[in-house]
């Protein structure tokens, strides 16, 4: 006999459970999805990026958050944990807990084999529905490469940077970050073959 289907959770039920959980889960339209752990390269990339971004934001009305900051996309009802998010100006939250951000201007996702298709496709299509979002950055953990999507009045321009001599530009910073700094301490002994976009 098949188990009875479980009812979908409401966003309020998800948040109540999530705030008491030891592990993180994403929520999409009533369904909960457990998040997996991160590789060494993933962790180093996130910490390098946060360090470089934070040092360049001094004196600017922007702050950078690590993956502990949840982001909500109202439609289709997505609650997710970007690897890095940046917000400029007044921070807006879903409620008084101040743990679910509504208005990031930049979102970073570090690509992994299990999430790359989702980060490039469906997840990006959801992020595009955030009125505040101006830049979406995908970061490879297998070679020095970033892919930046810039919102230009509803059209998303594509800009990539590659090689340790490449530069990652961010509008909110007003300057670029050398990929040699983004990839500091990371080696690529087993890089898969290059993909062409």
Q: Phi first, then psi: give them for residue 96, nearest 5 degrees.
A: -75, -5
Of the candidate ranges 51-60, 124-133, 187-196, the one whose mean pLDDT is the lowest: 187-196
Q: Taking 90 as the threshold, does the pLDDT of residue 154 lie above it?
A: no
Query: For the residues 9-25, what does the mean pLDDT come to?
Result: 92
Domains of the chain: 39-68+83-182 (3.90.1570.10)
Quote the pTM value. 0.90
Q: What is the dihedral of CA 41, 124, 85, 58, to 10 degrees?
A: 100
Map 78-106 to HEC letters. Answer: EEECCCEEEEECCCCECCCCCCEECCCCE
In this prediction, residue 190 carries a pLDDT of 58
Angstrom distances, CA of residue 16 to CA of 7, 97, 189: 16, 11, 43
Q: Which of 192 and 56 is assigned the larger pLDDT?
A: 56
Strands 155-162, 78-80: parallel, antiparallel or unpaired by DSSP?
unpaired
pLDDT tens readout for residues 46-84: 999 999 999 999 999 999 999 999 999 998 889 999 999
b/e map 124-149, b = 16+ CB within 10 Å: bebbeebeebbbbbbbbbbebbbbbb
């Amino acid at each position: 006999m098949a188990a009875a289907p479980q009812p979908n959770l409401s966003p309020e039920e998800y948040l109540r459970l999530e705030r008491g959980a030891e592990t993180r889960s994403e929520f999409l339209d009533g369904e909960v999805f457990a998040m997996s752990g991160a590789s060494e390269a993933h962790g180093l990339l996130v910490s390098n990026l946060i360090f470089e971004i934070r040092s360049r934001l001094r004196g600017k009305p922007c702050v950078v958050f690590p993956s502990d900051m949840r982001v909500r996309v109202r439609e289709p009802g997505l609650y997710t944990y970007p690897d890095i998010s940046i917000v400029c100006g007044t921070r807006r939250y879903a409620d008084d807990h101040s743990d679910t951000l509504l208005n990031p201007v930049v979102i970073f996702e570090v690509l992994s084999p299990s999430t790359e298709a989702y980060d490039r496709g469906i997840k990006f299509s959801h992020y595009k529905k955030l009125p505040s979002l101006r830049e979406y950055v995908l970061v490879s953990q297998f070679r020095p490469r970033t892919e930046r999507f810039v919102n230009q009045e509803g059209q998303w321009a594509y800009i990539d940077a590659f090689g340790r001599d490449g530069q990652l530009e961010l509008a909110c910073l007003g300057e670029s970050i050398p990929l040699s700094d983004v990839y500091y301490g990371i080696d690529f002994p087993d890089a898969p073959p290059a993909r062409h976009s």
